[in-house]
Amino acid sequence: MIKKLFGFLLVAISILTVSCEKETRTLNEIEDQLIQEFIAKNNLDFEKDSTGFYYQVIDSGNTDLPILRYPDRVRIGQKTTSINKAVSYETSIYNPTPSDFVGYIRPISWRETIRKVRKGGIIRILTPSYLAYGKDGQGTNIPGNAILDTRIEIADDSNLELYEDRLINRYLTEKNITAIKDASGIYYQINAAGDSNFPTIDSEITIAYTGRFLSGTVFDSRTSANPLSSKLSELIEGWQITLPKIGVGGKIKIIVPSRYAYGESGSEGGVIGPNTILEFDIELISKK
């Protein structure tokens, strides 16, 4: 009996030993294997950084500019999903992150891959959780132990006026909007001409409107039941330029480069960030 029991114990210890050997892989090794399997399954072409993340340069950016360095300031748009968790986290290039030093950008995989391109560059990064947000995740957007799959576009705002014009045209194409470019650089689409009672810069106007970022987020609106009344001269320059194009009862869509909206400082209170392109749908209710 003792011999049989001893034999059973040896078998149990042997099974336990084998089991332990199978589970001695670190989290780093497990996640690296998951990433490699994802790359192979989807026939992707990535390079592995020495720290453990994988990256792909899709577009190296504006070749007239230098490769980005830690002290350079950039704005980025990013879309992040995950290869092993439910993640949907996005910052639209139409309303990118505030300008920040490359050296301050997190996670480390984002920062280091951004340093491989120029402004205007596009990169894709696979980041294991231990180099991202770990077991705790981040807020409600990213759960713990999420391996991130991120596509980043770096805004080429070295020539802001040209960059915003290109971005507006990209937006118009994506949304299938036909618009006219004013000599100022503002784009507009007249949806109803209204009567012959056109406002001037000195007019007192009453309007209903919806203001949104090109990402689609509405940041302000007034209805005809609760309109805005103001002197046109006291409103943003983009409105001063375009509202005289319609009469009372008219409706106009305008897409306003940041220099004709809230410029480099953004709006008071920070609702509209610096250098933000804005879209408005406006109805001119009355003028006097």
Residue type, 40: A
Domains of the chain: 26-154 (3.10.50.40), 160-287 (3.10.50.40)
Task: Assess contact for 137 and 143: CB atoms under 8 A.
Answer: yes
Q: How confident is the model at residue 9 (pLDDT cuts 50, 70, 90)?
A: very low
Q: What's the token pair of residue 124?
A: 């894709």
Query: What is the arithmetic mean of pLDDT over 157-168?
Result: 97
Q: Percentage of the chain with pLDDT > 70? A: 92
Compute the C-alpha angle 172/214/205, nearest 5°: 95
CB contact set of 42 (below 8 Å; sequence gap of 6+): none
**Mean of the per-residue pLDDT values for the chain?**
93
Query: What is the arithmetic mean of pLDDT over 187-199?
Result: 97
pTM listed for this prediction: 0.86
Query: What is the arithmetic mean of pLDDT over 127-138?
Result: 96
pLDDT per residue over 244-277, tens digit each?
999 999 999 999 999 999 999 999 888 999 999 9
Q: Which residues pair with 253 in a beta bridge?
A: 189, 281
> Is it the case that residue 5 has pLDDT exceeding 60?
no
pLDDT of residue 24: 78
Give the alpha-carbon dihedral of 269, 271, 273, 278, to 10 degrees: -130
Q: Which of 78, 92, 158, 159 is nearest to 122 (CA)?
A: 78
Q: Which of 189, 203, 192, 195 is nearest to 280 (CA)?
A: 189
pLDDT per residue over 174-186, tens digit each?
999 999 999 999 9
Q: Which of 168, 167, 161 is nearest to 188 (CA)?
A: 168
Task: Assess contact for 59 and 67: CB atoms under 8 A.
Answer: no
Query: What is the arithmetic mean of pLDDT over 195-212?
Result: 97
pLDDT of residue 253: 98
DSSP string, the chain: -HHHHHHHHHHHHHHHHHHHHHT---HHHHHHHHHHHHHHHTT---EE-TTS-EEEEEE---TTSPPP-TT-EE-EEEEEEESSS---EEE-TTS-PPPEEGGG-SSHHHHHHHTTS-TT-EEEEEE-GGGTTTTT-BTTTB-TTPPEEEEEEE---TTHHHHHHHHHHHHHHHHT---EEPTTS-EEEEEE---S----TT-EEEEEEEEEETTS-EEEEE-TTS-EEEEGGGS-HHHHHHGGGS-TT-EEEEEE-GGGTTTTT--TTSSS-TT--EEEEEEEEEE-
pLDDT of residue 25: 83
Query: What is the arithmetic mean of pLDDT over 24-45?
Result: 95
Give the total residue count for the chain. 288
> Is it the case that residue 18 has pLDDT exceeding 50?
no
Query: What is the arithmetic mean of pLDDT over 96-114?
Result: 96
> Is it the case that residue 7 has pLDDT exceeding 80?
no
pLDDT of residue 269: 85
Spatial separation of the C-alpha atoms in residues 119 and 223, rounded to whole Å: 40
pLDDT of residue 23: 58
pLDDT per residue over 107-122, tens digit each?
999 999 999 999 999 9
Spatial separation of the C-alpha atoms in residues 123 and 65, rounded to whole Å: 17
pLDDT of residue 16: 46
Query: What is the arithmetic mean of pLDDT over 133-151?
Result: 95
> Which of these ranges, 4-13, 153-162, 246-255, 262-271, has the smallest mean pLDDT?
4-13
